[in-house]
Amino acid sequence: MRRRLVVVFVGAFASLLSITSYSQVNPAQLPNPPAREPQWAFPVIQQQLPAEPAEPKKIPGSSKAYTPAEIDNLTAPPDWFPDEHPPAPAIVHKGRPTALACGSCHLMNGEGHPESAGFAGLPAGYIVQQMDDFKTAVRKDPAGRMNAFAKDMTDDEVRQAAAWFASLKPRQFTTVKEAAMVPKTIVGQGRMRFVDPKGGMEPIGNRIITVPDDQDRARSRDPHSGFTAYVPPGSIAKGRTLAQTGGNGKTVACGICHGDTMRGLGNVPRLAGLHPIYIARQLHLFKDGSRNGIDAQLMKKPVAQLTDDDILALSAYLASLNPAQGS
C-alpha cells in the first residue's frame, strides 16, 4: 500500500510539473480561462491556426530573425527592435515557467495584445500595486495566470519591471472603427482573435471585434504592427457623452480621476488608447467584484449602474483616444 501511495504521489507530482511548465515553449499550451460573458471581452480559444513553417522569420525594419518556436517561447520573447527601448530588466525578456517574461504578452513596446494589458507609460507605483493585488488575490485574473506569476516574482523584479514599463512612451496601437458588418472571426492561439480563414462577414451586434492589422506580424509579436477594433455605429459618441458628463448621474465623469485627456493623473492610470476589450474586461471585473484592491474601491460607484451597452460604448470611446502626449 505504501509503495502504491508513493507511485500515485509521484505520478501526481509529474502531472503538476507538466502543468506548471506549460509556458516554457508555446502559447497554445496555456490553459483556457472559464468561458464567461460577454464572450467578445473574455476570449476563449476556439481553434488552432495551422502551424507555421519552422524556418526563421523576419519582419519589416528589423535585422533580427526568430523561428516560430523561439517566437512562441514565453520565457524568452523576441526583441525585434532592442534599440528602441532602454535595456530591459531580466524578468521582462527572460522568465521562467512559473513567471513568464513580461515582454511575451505585453510586448517589448509595452502595448501588449488585446488579450493582455498595455503597460507603456503607466505609473510605476500603479503597476506595483496591481502586482501586489494579484499576489494577494484581491484582484483576480480570469485565467488565473497573473495571480500565479505575481506570487513567483520577487519584489525587486516587480519594481524593476514596473519602472521599465513606466519609462516607455505609449503610442496609438489600436485603430477604432465603427462598422455595422465585420469579418467573421475565430479565437486562436494566445486567445487572440483572427479573421476566420473561411472568410465571410456578419453583423457586429453588441460586440467589439479586434483583429490584427497583419496577422503574421501579430503572431510574430511585432511591436510595430497594431490592431483594428470594430465597434457598433454610434458607440464612440455614446461613450464620449458618458465619459465626459457621467450620463446624468449614471456614472462619474472619467476625467475627474484620469485627467481631461484620459492620459492619467498622478498615480491614476491612463485610459486613452488602451485595447477596448481590455477596458471592457476591467469594467466588468470591477462591477462583479473580481477586481478589488485600493484603487478598485474608487471604481465601485462609477460602474454600479453601467449596462453592458454602456461598458461597450465607454470602451470604444476611450480606446479611440490617442495616448501620446502632444497629440
57 DSSP β-pair partners: 66
Domains of the chain, residue spans: 40-167, 174-320
Q: What's the grid cell of residue 8?
A: 500515485
Q: What's the grid cell of residue 125?
A: 507605483
pTM score, whole prediction: 0.90
Report the pLDDT value the prediction gives residue 327, as an integer from 0 to 100: 56
Report the pLDDT value the prediction gives residue 8, as an integer from 0 to 100: 34
Q: What gap in Å lies between CA 267 and CA 265, rounded to an integer?
A: 6
pLDDT digits (tens, 9 = 90+) for 236-259: 999 999 999 999 999 999 999 999
Q: Could you tell me the fold of the domain covering 40-167?
A: Cytochrome Bc1 Complex; Chain D, domain 2 (1.10.760)
Q: Tell me, what DSSP letter sits at residue 22?
A: G
Report the pLDDT value the prediction gives residue 326, as an integer from 0 to 100: 58
Q: Do domains 40-167 and 174-320 have the same CATH topology?
A: yes
Average confidence (pLDDT) over 206-225: 97
pLDDT digits (tens, 9 = 90+) for 130-186: 999 999 999 999 888 899 999 999 999 999 999 999 999 999 999 999 999 999 999
> Where does the pLDDT of residue 27 fall: very low under 50, low under 70, confident under 90, or very high at 90 and above?
low
Say which residue the cell 467584484 belongs to: 289
Q: What gap in Å lies between CA 60 and CA 104, rounded to an integer?
A: 19
Q: What gap in Å lies between CA 282 and CA 296, rounded to an integer?
A: 10
Q: What gap in Å lies between CA 128 and CA 160, rounded to an integer?
A: 10
Confidence check: pLDDT of 276 > 90: yes
Q: What gap in Å lies between CA 237 and CA 213, rounded to an integer?
A: 24
Q: Does domain 174-320 have CATH number 1.10.760.10?
A: yes
> Where does the pLDDT of residue 21 fall: very low under 50, low under 70, confident under 90, or very high at 90 and above?
very low
Report the pLDDT value the prediction gives residue 250, as an integer from 0 to 100: 94
pLDDT digits (tens, 9 = 90+) for 29-80: 566 788 899 999 999 999 988 989 999 999 999 999 999 999 999 999 999 9
Mean pLDDT, rounded, of the chain = 90
Contact indicator for 164, 89 with CB cutoff of 8 Å: yes
How far is Cα of residue 260 from the mean position of the Cα atoms in its chain?
Answer: 24
